[in-house]
């Protein structure tokens, strides 16, 4: 399978030179400790069709516990016995309760891309691959944002919000909130404002009823 076949419609906005540079760095590492697994790094792109894209939900980096990261930002596997604290906060804010499904495939199918600012990390470590992925993610966000669609960019946390300057603002919507992990650490509920605003934007500009 070629890269264009793998990424399908996302190939329109992916800089493959930057992608190759990032993957070359990743391949130098001990990939058995990679989070998510190497084969799942771009899973979210496979689940969310670019031609259906409505929302990019940008976080920080993948869960660093072995076997927890799925390749979809914030998601857990549906059979997990105890969901990750950030996902628990996120679901309660978006859905009103911490109910399954936890894999967020239903979000992807509706045109939401749950994406991390850094697509990988290593077991037990956080933030160590941000320098590897920042050029690729910056390019992706910019190219997506200059399309002719009204897109919603939900930037969760300081890392995500540091990409605001690469997003073309005219005709798009940028919503910002603290990262769910902050609310989890402080044991307080995350406001639902960004989710309710996203629903209103999609209804008004896309005539689309989003179901979190």
Q: Per-domain residue ranges for the chain? A: 13-206
**What's the CA gap between 171 and 175, in Å, rounded?**
13
Mean pLDDT across 55-62: 97
The pLDDT tens digits for 140-159 are 999 999 987 799 999 999 99
Q: Round the CA-based radius of gyration of the chain to a whole number and report it.
A: 16
CATH superfamily label, 13-206 = Uracil-DNA glycosylase-like domain (3.40.470.10)
Mean pLDDT across 124-131: 95
Mean pLDDT of the chain: 96
Could you tell me the pTM of the whole model? Answer: 0.96
In DSSP terms, which residues pair with 112 in a beta bridge? 55
Q: What's residue 10's pLDDT?
A: 97
Catalytic residues: 61
- Classified as helix, coil or strand, 122 is strand
The pLDDT tens digits for 95-110 are 999 989 999 999 999 9
Nearest of 205, 165, 50, 191 to residue 112 by alpha carbon: 50
Q: How many CB atoms lie within 10 A of CB 55?
A: 22
Q: Any residues with CB less than 8 A from the CB of 28 and at least 6 apart, and which?
A: none
Angle among Cα 46, 197, 105 to the nearest 5 degrees reads 20
Angle among Cα 191, 194, 200 to the nearest 5 degrees reads 125
Q: Is residue 212 over pLDDT 90?
A: yes
Mean pLDDT across 61-86: 96
């Amino acid at each position: 399978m070629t890269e264009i076949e793998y990424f399908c419609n996302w190939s329109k906005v992916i800089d493959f030179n930057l992608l190759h540079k990032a993957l070359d760095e990743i391949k130098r590492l001990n990939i058995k400790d990679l989070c998510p697994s190497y084969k799942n790094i771009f899973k979210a792109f496979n689940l969310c069709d670019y031609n259906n894209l409505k929302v990019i939900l940008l976080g920080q980096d993948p869960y660093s516990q072995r076997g927890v990261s799925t390749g979809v930002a914030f998601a857990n596997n549906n059979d997990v016995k105890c969901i990750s604290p950030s996902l628990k906060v996120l679901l309660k804010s978006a859905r009103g309760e911490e109910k399954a499904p936890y894999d967020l495939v239903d979000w992807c199918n509706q045109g939401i891309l749950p994406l991390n600012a850094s697509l990988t990390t290593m077991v037990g470590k956080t933030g160590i691959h941000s320098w590897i992925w920042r050029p690729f993610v910056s390019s992706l966000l910019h190219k997506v944002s200059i399309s002719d669609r009204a897109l919603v960019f939900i930037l969760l946390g300081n890392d995500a919000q540091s990409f605001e300057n690469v997003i073309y603002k005219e005709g798009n919507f940028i919503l910002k909130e603290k990262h769910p992990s902050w609310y989890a650490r402080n044991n307080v509920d995350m406001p639902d404002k960004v989710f309710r605003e996203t629903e209103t934007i999609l209804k008004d500009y896309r005539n689309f009823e989003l179901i979190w």
